[in-house]
Structure 1
Amino acid sequence: MISVLILTLNEELNLPACLESVRWSDDIVVLDSGSTDRTVEIAKAAGARVVHRPFDDERSHRTASLSLGFRHPWVYNPDADEVTPLELAEEMKAVVSDRGRAEVAYRVRFKNMFRGRWLRRSGLYPTWVVRLFRPERVRFARTINLQYVIDGPEGRLNSHFLHYSFNKGMDHWREKHRRYAALEAEDNLRELRECPVDVPGLFDIGAPVRRRRALKLLSMRLPFRPWLRFLYMYVLRMGFLDGGPGLEYCRLMKWYEGEIVRNMRLLRENR
């Protein structure tokens, strides 16, 4: 009914919980890009089909992942650090079984988990991401923080998945986001040249994906971006209600925004 696709690189800490939460699928495919830990062993032990592909860039890698010969027409694509509650699994099964639906992809909200709690405010909930789709109707834009371009109607699911992005420790998180910041800086500079601010989208409350995109395009043009991001998350979105973990998370995202700005400045100086 639904195939499961998981992309991995050294995910032995995250993968067991992710796989356990999708045991309801009879077609689990793991696309591994050269793990040196027990990731492949864990995947095979869980009955997953493992495909190997060297990583080049995220857009190319994910595009290649759509052509792996899935058993079912629908694909659920959790990240390795995500856990799928039973409620979400049952809802996905129900919508793909309903032949009267026109949707070719579904967005899902997630609960961002940090220091043992759900960051409801500072985690910018609700953020809607594509996780369930028909692979032939999907393509990707941008190099980092990919945008899903869907050829057909989209829907939304009521259930959530859980996101554990800090399971590998703070050092790993920072190193990963240093890499992301370098790629994000390149995309930001290109979008500053090519994409004007979508002013109507800033006020389109009924289209959160469009509004989030418009806010991002606006923020690229503002001074003091790291502090603005912190104030937006901690004050305007009331991240202070998430207690100590909320403050720490907002500080981390301020640092990440600063890394993007720093990389943008370096790219401009070297041109």
Structure 2
Amino acid sequence: MINPVTHIDGEIGELDAHLDHYPFSKGISHWFSKHNGYSSQEARHIVSVVDTHEKLSLKKAIFARDIAVRRRHQKGLYYQLPMRPLVMFMGLYIGKRGFLDGRAGFVYAILRAIYEYMIVLKAEELRQQG
């Protein structure tokens, strides 16, 4: 799984500053290579866990006390959204105001939409293979 739920045994601290993350520091080819692998893992997760899991509930996605249950329902419902790549693009470019970042914001929103589409296509392929 790409973003598993982590259970910490001990104290949890907080950062006093923002954590800088540079996803393109090694170039666009490296980003695509990493996300090709991530999308394969995510597609396998969707087909093996989300597709066969309990009935998903919007109520649990919002109000479940257990964060793992809440997150599982949120992700499961998200995976069922029609036109998920477009939703991702609009969420980043309009919702998160990526348009204010100019070309960089547009390119990033497009790349994230492509990543979502890779997941959609790979999950469909896995389902067809049975």
Report the TM-score, using the length of structure 2 for normalisation.
0.79
Counterparts in 2 of 1:218-229, with a 5 A limit? 218-229=77-88
Structure 2 unaligned segments of length 5 or more: list them.
none
Mean CA deviation greater in 144-153 or 243-252? 144-153
Separation (CA, whole Å) in 2 of partners of 1:195 and 1:237? 32
CA 1:222–1:254 in structure 2 vs 1: closer, same or farther (change >3 Å)?
same
Higher strand share: 1
Q: Note the alpha carbon deviations across 1:16-72, whole angstroms, 9 max, x for none.
A: xxxxxxxxxxxxxxxxxxxxxxxxxxxxxxxxxxxxxxxxxxxxxxxxxxxxxxxxx
Structure 1 position 242 matched with structure 2 position 98: no
Deviation at residue 202 of structure 1 after TM alignment: 4.7
Local SS of the residue matching 1:250: helix
Structure 1 position 231 matched with structure 2 position 79: no
- Counterpart for residue 26 of structure 2: 168
- Counterpart for residue 158 of structure 1: 16
CA 1:215–1:247 in structure 2 vs 1: closer, same or farther (change >3 Å)?
farther
Structure 1 position 251 matched with structure 2 position 110: yes
Counterparts in 2 of 1:109-188, with a 5 A limit? 143-151=1-9, 154-188=12-46
Asked if the contact 1:196–1:217 (Cα under 8 Å) also holds between the matched residues in 2, the reply is no
State the number of aligned residues: 126
CA 1:186–1:155 in structure 2 vs 1: closer, same or farther (change >3 Å)?
same
Local SS of the residue matching 1:163: coil
Higher helix share: 2
Q: Give the AA of the match of 1:169.
A: G
CA 1:154–1:218 in structure 2 vs 1: closer, same or farther (change >3 Å)?
farther
Provide the identity percentage: 36
Local SS of the residue matching 2:46: helix
Separation (CA, whole Å) in 2 of partners of 1:170 and 1:156? 31
Q: Give the AA of the match of 2:129.
A: N
Report the TM-score, using the length of structure 1 for normalisation.
0.41
- Larger-Rg structure: 1
- Counterpart for residue 128 of structure 2: 269
Q: Give the AA of the match of 2:84.
A: R
Q: Give the AA of the match of 1:146.
A: P
Structural RMSD (CA): 2.7
